[in-house]
Amino acid sequence: MKIGAILCLTFLSLVSIFSVSVSAFNDPSFSHSLKVPSLPNIASFEDDLSYSLYHKSCPNVEGIIYKKVQEWVKKDPTLAPSLMRLHFHDCAVRGCDASILLDHSGSERSANVSKSLRGFEVINDIKAELEKKCPKTVSCADILTTAARDATVLAGGPFWTIPFGRKDGRVSLAKETTTIPMGRESITKLIEFFQSKGLNVLDLVVLSGAHTIGRSSCESVQHRLYDYKGTKKPDPSINHAYLNYLRRKCRWASENVYLDATTPRTFDVQYYHNLKNKMGLLSTDQLLYSDSRTKPIANALSFESSLFSNQFSVSMVKLANILDVNSQDKGEIRLNCNRVNY
């Protein structure tokens, strides 16, 4: 009986996710309400990627990357969500081309939205090791993509296979990071951003679930605690007990607070339960449970952890397959992830 109930719930949840996604995109009013940027230079280059690319040139590439990520995460577990976030920020601008790693004046890495990014030293360590074993072979973009997957696994999340062949971009501009979500956008703006990258509403809700682990700066949430939309009052959508908790934790903007206050170190579906209880940390978190386009998906994912894990893998593969035309055509295999070769 119990097994039957679980199977029934799983089926209903899948139907809920599928139906809301399809109906949202088939609704003319939904389409007309969005302004999706054109994509002259961003596309999915799945044909350019290969699961066997390094089989001969660097056969143990995934083993080397996993071992290094494991060493770093063992010393500092907070690096797991940091590597996932670093990967997202990379793919969100010029596709997954490691442009976020370039360290020079005016680069993406120097932008205000990037100031809290971490994990650069992990990627540098992996690159140094791979250059010893397989010189001039593995791109920094492939390293970062794989490290994010391994960080997810080490945090208790799912595993997925990764095709390789991403080139390292030679351009990185801080001004291009202004479209990356900062936690205050409307759901419509978030959907527009995700659609501009070839992702959909389901991907938005699922990838937001990465906030089941990790931390945010208090600076990102203080406006909700003290002066929501210029009212000099807190955001009325915040659970009262949670509001008191956040005010204790976030006396200073420089402090950090867990994205999931309930199970902050466990990769699970508690994030979605928190939204039901009005305990989403960022405005963009909580809005997922108040918008008719995203709430049914968030609700369905909260019921069955296997649904979340499976779809998270799918959405992360889609994210990692966002590539830029120029980066692929004019890219390189960097010898040092922090700078172009010449």
Q: Decide if 118 contacts 100 (C-beta within 8 A).
A: no
CA-based Rg of the chain, rounded to a whole angstrom? 20
32 flagged as catalytic? no
- Least Cα distance to 140 among 339, 326, 342, 329 occurs for 339
3-state secondary structure of 42: strand
Determine if residue 90 is labeled as part of a ligand binding site: yes
Give the integer Cα–Cα distance in Å for 167 and 149.
18
Q: Decide if 198 contacts 44 (C-beta within 8 A).
A: yes
Determine if residue 268 is labeled as part of a ligand binding site: yes
Q: Which helix (H) or strand (E) holds 324?
A: strand 322-324
Determine if residue 95 is labeled as part of a ligand binding site: yes
Paired tokens of 15: 């139907």
Collect all residues with Cβ–Cβ distance below 8 Å to 323 and sequence separation of at least 6.
42, 43, 44, 45, 48, 95, 96, 97, 166
Determine if residue 46 is labeled as part of a ligand binding site: no
Q: Any idea which residue has 């010893």 for tokens?
A: 132
Q: Decide if 160 contacts 312 (C-beta within 8 A).
A: no
Determine if residue 211 is labeled as part of a ligand binding site: yes
Collect all residues with Cβ–Cβ distance below 8 Å to 100 and sequence separation of at least 6.
86, 89, 90, 93, 108, 109, 114, 117, 144, 172
Active-site residue identified among 32, 55, 87, 89: 89
Residue 50 is classified by DSSP as: B
Helices 61-75 and 140-154 meet at what angle, rounded to 10? 50
Q: Decide if 309 contacts 152 (C-beta within 8 A).
A: no
Determine if residue 93 is labeled as part of a ligand binding site: yes
Q: Decide if 163 contacts 51 (C-beta within 8 A).
A: yes
- Least Cα distance to 168 among 324, 52, 60, 320 occurs for 324
Neighbours of 151 (CB within 10 A): 28
Determine if residue 260 is labeled as part of a ligand binding site: yes
Determine if residue 212 is labeled as part of a ligand binding site: yes
Residues catalogued as catalytic = 89
Instruction: Point out the annotated binding site for substrate.
Output: 181
Instruction: Point out the annotated binding site.
Output: 90, 93, 95, 97, 99, 108, 181, 211-212, 260, 263, 268
Instruction: Point out the annotated binding site for heme b.
Output: 211
